[in-house]
Chains A and B, each alone.
Chain A
Amino acid sequence: MSATGIGAPVKRREDFRFITGKGQYTADVNRHGQAYAYFLRSPHAHATIDAIDYAEALKMPGVCAIYTGKDLADDKIGGLICGWMIHSKDGSPMKAGAHPALAQGKVRYVGDHVAVIIADTLAEAKDAAEKINVTYGVLPANADTASAMKSAAVHDVAPDNRVYDWHLGDKGATEAAFAKAAHITKLDIVNNRLVPNPMEPRAAVGEYEEGSGVFCLHTTSQNPHVARLVLSAFIGIAPENKLRVIAPDVGGGFGAKIFIYAEETVCVWAAKKVGRPVKWTADRTEAFLADAHGRDHVSHAELALDANNKIIGLRVKTTANLGAYLSTFSSSVPTYLYAPLLSGQYNIPAIYAEVDAVYTNTAPVDAYRGAGRPEATFLVERIIEVAARERGLDPAQFRQMNYITQFPHQTPLIFAYDAGDFNASMVKALELADYKGVGARKADSAARGKLRGVGFSSYIEACGIAPSAAVGSLGAGVGLWESAEVRVNAIGTVEVLTGSHSHGQGHETTFAQLVSDRLGIPIEHVSIVHGDTDKVQMGMGTYGSRSGAVGMSAISKALDKIEAKAKKVAGFVLEAADTDIEFKDGKFTVKGTDKTIDFGSVALQAYIAHKFTGAQLEPGLKEGAFYDPTNFTFPAGVHICEVEIDPDTGVTRIDRWTAVDDFGAVINPMIVEGQVHGGIAQGIGQALLEGAVYDKDGQLLTASYMDYAMPRADDLPNYKLGFTETRCPSNPLGIKGCGEAGAIAAPPAVINAITDALGHENIAMPATPQAVWRAAQHAVMKKAAE
């Protein structure tokens, strides 16, 4: 392994600009003559718009234009779309209500877009917004998931607010398993609603160049090419060849920046209307109101065991809140990204899952770090832990006796797990966590009047999404390959154009490590280019922990082609057949001789083209590749959380966190560890602190950092990490992906630890000090009564 090659903890090459304040985020983009957009948002969760009077607002200082949904409709600008078709049990398509970028006749959640004011300054736009008089006809609203199907219709197309009723698995086989069960564990589970909260709020700068007729949009996107595709093909801003989308430095995404939103649509459209660049930057409350939220499931689960405590069946009924409109990929999250993971790491012969997706008068809900897989893992790992306790078994041993041990393993729910060693991760985690010492530590805590508990999470996820044909058969409107282009310059430096997008993941480092390793050239000679549709031809972007497994595999495939072409060039220079050329450590050598030429010289020869004719070989050294994976990847691992609770205050302190993950091959362990740390922090946030709360009228009560508890440094522990490795067999690099693991694994580990400490299962997320105090008092009183 070289100092900058695959497997080396190379310091990040992107850091210099970030630590010196030289990053270029969308809000840092300023254009000559730009105007500022401000969105007038609905104060009501559900209302008809009976009239909008903005005559007075138009006369306010600095105002250039005010537009409403009517203006978009007049320009034949289409609505926002949901790109994944789900069919109900009866085969009928999901009921997708229209989603105009600016409301047409009705608003459906607090924060819904009523009008846009464009002015010389943001302050002037805000002042003018206050002069707009909207006449609303307030309608009954509902924000609650469980009661959505009994509430007033959000969209006429879905009178009972049901988007679809979907199912997966063999109902008959599952019922039969339950009929012969020796023990059935039942659990009601709520997966709390979260707000993703990347630290950079969303932003957009729209421009229109009259001479060429080209639109340009700078936007905070995880997938600028998908944004261009949707804005062109569905919304109708401009054909793709007349629309450039740039996602420059992006300050975190976590899913919330996958989607195509109203604001960027309006900014780029309005730039042509007003004849000036139009800039919009969300403030934090707008982010809370209008970024797509995550999770929000209400489920009932039952687990069937035989007399030997082997799991024989699982049945699940889930209601998933999708909010007021179907966001870009929302429909896939509680279906194909959720239910197929219900087998967890366990050999479960029969599983049946039913999912009702519902509309409510809340912000749209879509993928948030993990997307469906945290919801599945929380359910599986909670019910497994409860079952072990009910059967008086050690939760680690109960898991081990039910682990899948043979690979490949076809689960009852679509996925074929290709490789793994779940027990190896468990064994290592038990050791790192000093599980043997738990009894003594519990006694020590008890002596100090504290409650100590240990919780496990033995998670698996499906990442690297995904084979295009497979997701197409499941309803996806797009293919999920990735593209790469490797451009070797005449002096041997290299530019790699990738369709993946980095918004914190460090691709400029890890992708360059792969190229440096493969071509045997210094990492400084490699540049990674991403995030601009004028530079990178096409790409599917970054989410679902796919950049390593899919994005880097595309680069690897392009590098194969570069090597093959370079060997031909070397063959002409060294007067040998290209089949006799070996390439190693950046040098091409004629087998069995000392005739050699380095990579940079081959690059030069490829471009000067003196040693071969055009009939023999094309000049130049540039290759592209599209890589479509053959399977999902299946990262898995074991996280163990140990908490100490103060029953007098309800404060839960995480005393130890142990994570052992199998991500397959690791390119840069420093970056992988950082991804795990951040994922765990978000998972702990969900378990202990975070929750989006709407009141009964649909007002969002948690719309700032003063109301929504983001994890802060003093809420979190240090993490002890370990790794096991089974290479992923479905991509050339053996990578499984690491971006979401922590957020998927952590919540059940925390809640299992808290319930272990309390001695009962009755605690919901977020387990705030108040909730834990109540539960702890109950536990203390119960103990006293015994």
Chain B
Amino acid sequence: MPMIHMTVNGKAVKGHAEPRTLLVEFIRDTLRLTGTHVGCDTSQCGACVVHVDGHAIKSCTTLAVACEGAHVTTIEGLAHGTDLHPMQEAFREHHGLQCGYCTPGMIMSAVDMVNRKGHELSEHTIREELEGNICRCTGYHNIVKAVAAGAKAMQGMAKAAE
């Protein structure tokens, strides 16, 4: 089995993986980072979304070996200790989650959406951009609110960093 090396949430990691091992399996089973979930296996539901080299991807349809040397961020890498990322905070503030299963993928997709589309997101844009993330609990009403608020708050974060 090949040995794979990645930087996951800022930490250098390595582990054996078969050529058929999926990135999500490597993250969950080898690295034991179980915040990334599997909901559908066909890259439809988005519960498995992580960032690879700064872009959101569905880790259930990505081979682990294809990510050799990549920088991966999972939901566990978003907060700094108890300091939540603004998008995480927005989901809590706006009751954008119920069972929590789709939530890590939703948040990772939302952060990526802001990175690509900016901080002023219309409801139409958010709904369209969430096409690849399925939630069965919330009816999306509060998720849309959370993403809009989180996007704005990320602007504050960006300014604070400047």
Q: Tell me whether A23 and B35 are in contact (CB under 8 A).
A: yes
Residue A67 lies at the interface, judged by CB distance under 8 Å to chain B? no
Q: Is B13 an interface residue (CB 8 A)?
A: no
- Distance, CA A713 to CA B42, complexed state (A): 18
Please pick, from B41, B79, B95, the residue contacting A283 in the complex, using a CB distance under 8 A: B41
Let me know if B41 and A252 touch, CB within 8 A. no
Determine if A760 is an interface residue (Cβ-Cβ < 8 Å).
no
The interface stretch among A198-206, A468-476, A774-782 is A198-206
With an 8 A cutoff between CB atoms, is B118 at the interface? no
Interface hits, B11-47 → A, CB 8 Å: 18, 20, 28-29, 32-42, 44-45, 47
User: Chain A contacts of B28 at CB under 8 A?
Assistant: 28
- Whether A21 contacts B36 in the complex (CB less than 8 A), given A198-B99, A719-B139, comes out as yes
Give the CA-CA distance A670 to B96 in the complex, in Å. Answer: 11
Known: A25-B37, A201-B39, A705-B42. A504 touches B98 (CB 8 A): yes
Render A13-30 as a binary contact track against B, CB cut-off 8 A, 1 for contact. 011111111111101101
1/0 contact string of A652-694 vs chain B (CB within 8 Å): 0000000000000000001101100111111000000000000
Q: Which residue of A lies closest to B88 (CB)?
A: A19
Are B101 and A25 touching (Cβ within 8 A)?
yes
Report the minimum CB–CB distance from B158 to chain A (whole Å): 20
A671 CA / B142 CA spacing, docked (Å): 11
When C-beta atoms are compared, the residue in chain B nearest to A674 turns out to be: B95
Query: Would you call A199 and B135 a contact (CB within 8 A)?
Result: yes
For B37, B92, B100, B104, the residue with the greatest tally of chain A CB atoms inside 10 Å of its CB is B100
Chain B 46-103 interface residues, beta-carbon cutoff 8 Å to A: 47, 74-76, 78-79, 84, 88, 91-93, 95, 97-103
A99 contacts across to B, CB distance below 8 A? none
Asked if B130 CB lies within 8 Å of chain A CBs, one says yes
A675 — nearest CB in chain B belongs to which residue? B98
A24 to B34, CA, bound (A): 8
Pair B140/A713 contact, Cβ less than 8 Å: yes
Number of interface residues of B (CB under 8 A): 56
Q: How many residues of A contact B (CB 8 A)?
A: 58
Partner among A11, A18, A677, A704 whose Cβ is within 8 Å of the Cβ of B138: A677
Q: How far in angstroms is the closest Cβ of chain B from A12?
A: 7
Residue of A nearest to B90 (CB): A19
- B44 and A705 contact, CB distance less than 8 A: yes
Chain B residues, Cβ within 8 Å of A503: 99
With A22-B35, A284-B40, A504-B99 given, is the CB distance from A678 to B84 under 8 Å? no
Query: In whole angstroms, what is the CA distance A310 to B142 when docked?
Result: 41
Q: Which residues of A contact B126 (CB under 8 A)?
A: 713
- Distance (Å) between the CB of B30 and the closest chain A CB? 11
Describe B's contact surface by its main secondary structure: loop
Q: In this assembly, does B149 line the interface, its C-beta being within 8 Å of a C-beta of chain A?
A: no
**Complex CA distance for A565 and B146, rounded to whole angstroms:** 45
Q: Quick one: which of A161-210 are within 8 Å of B by CB?
A: 197-201
Measured between beta carbons, the chain B residues less than 8 angstroms from A722 are: none
Most buried by A among B39, B44, B102: B39
Asked whether B100 lies within 8 Å of A18 as measured between CB atoms, the reply is: yes
Q: In the complex where A18-B100, A252-B101, A714-B128 touch, is A200 in contact with B84 (Cβ < 8 A)? A: no
- The answer, yes or no, to whether A718 is at the interface (CB within 8 Å) is yes
Q: Give the chain A neighbours of B41 by CB distance below 8 A.
A: 283-285, 704
**The residue from A11, A251, A671 contacting B99, defined by CB atoms under 8 A apart:** A251
Q: Which of B18, B75, B88, B99 contacts A252 (CB 8 A)?
A: B99
Q: Is the interface of A mostly helix, strand, loop or mixed?
A: loop
Contacts A21-B33, A682-B136 given; does A15 touch B97 at CB 8 Å: yes
Q: What A residues does B141 contact at CB under 8 A?
A: 677, 716, 718-719
A23 to B107, alpha carbons, bound, how many Å? 15
**Alpha-carbon distance A13/B42, docked complex (angstroms):** 32
B162 within 8 A of A: no
Q: Across the interface, name the chain A residue whose C-beta is closest to B138.
A: A678
**Complex CA distance for A280 and B107, rounded to whole angstroms:** 27
Q: Any chain B CB within 8 A of the CB of A417?
A: no
Closest A residue to B143 using CB positions: A713
* CB-based contact A681/B139 at 8 Å: yes
Contacts of A289 in B (CB 8 A): none
- B40 & A30 in contact (Cβ 8 Å cutoff): no
A767 CB to closest chain B CB (Å) equals 18
List the A residue with the shortest CB-CB distance to B21. A123
User: When A199-B47, A674-B138 are in contact, do A12 and B75 touch as well, CB less than 8 Å?
Assistant: no
User: How distant is B19 from chain A, measured CB to nearest CB, in Å?
Assistant: 11
- CB of A279, distance to nearest CB on chain B (Å): 11
Please, what's the 1-or-0 string for A224-251, where 1 marks a CB less than 8 Å from any CB in chain B? 0000000000000000000000000111
A710 within 8 A of B: yes
Q: Which residues of A contact B140 (CB under 8 A)?
A: 677, 681, 712-713, 716
B157 at interface by CB-CB < 8 Å: no
Partner of B74, one of A12, A21, A200, A742: A21
Chain B residue at minimal CB-CB distance from A25: B101
Contact of A710 among B75, B78, B134, B139 (CB under 8 A): B134
- Min CB distance A254 to B, Å, is 7
Contacts of B35 in A (CB 8 A): 20-23
User: Does A670 lie within 8 Å of B95, measured CB to CB?
Assistant: yes
Contact with B along A268-289 (1 / 0, CB 8 A): 0000000000000101110000
A interface footprint on B130-161 (CB within 8 Å = 1, 0 otherwise): 11011111111111100000000000000000
Nearest chain A residue, comparing its CB with the CB of B33: A21
Q: Find out whether the CB atom of A200 lies under 8 angstroms from the CB atom of B99.
A: yes
Is B119 in contact with chain A by the CB < 8 A criterion?
Answer: no
Q: How far is the CB of B61 from chain A (nearest CB, A)?
A: 12
B residues in contact with A678, CB < 8 Å: 98, 136-139
Which chain A residues lie closer than 8 Å to B5 at the CB level? none
Query: Contact: B127 with A714, CB < 8 Å?
Result: yes
Residue from B33, B34, B101, B139 having most chain A Cβ neighbours under 10 A: B139
List of 7 A-B pairs having minimum Cβ-Cβ separation, nearest first: A21-B35, A18-B100, A251-B101, A681-B139, A504-B99, A705-B44, A21-B75
Residues of A within 8 A of B (CB): 11-12, 14-25, 27-28, 30, 123, 197-201, 249-252, 254, 281, 283-285, 503-506, 670-671, 673-674, 677-682, 704-706, 710-714, 716, 718-719, 742
A-B contacts besides A17-B100, A677-B138, A705-B40, 8 pairs, CB < 8 Å: A23-B101, A25-B101, A199-B45, A252-B101, A284-B45, A504-B100, A713-B135, A716-B140
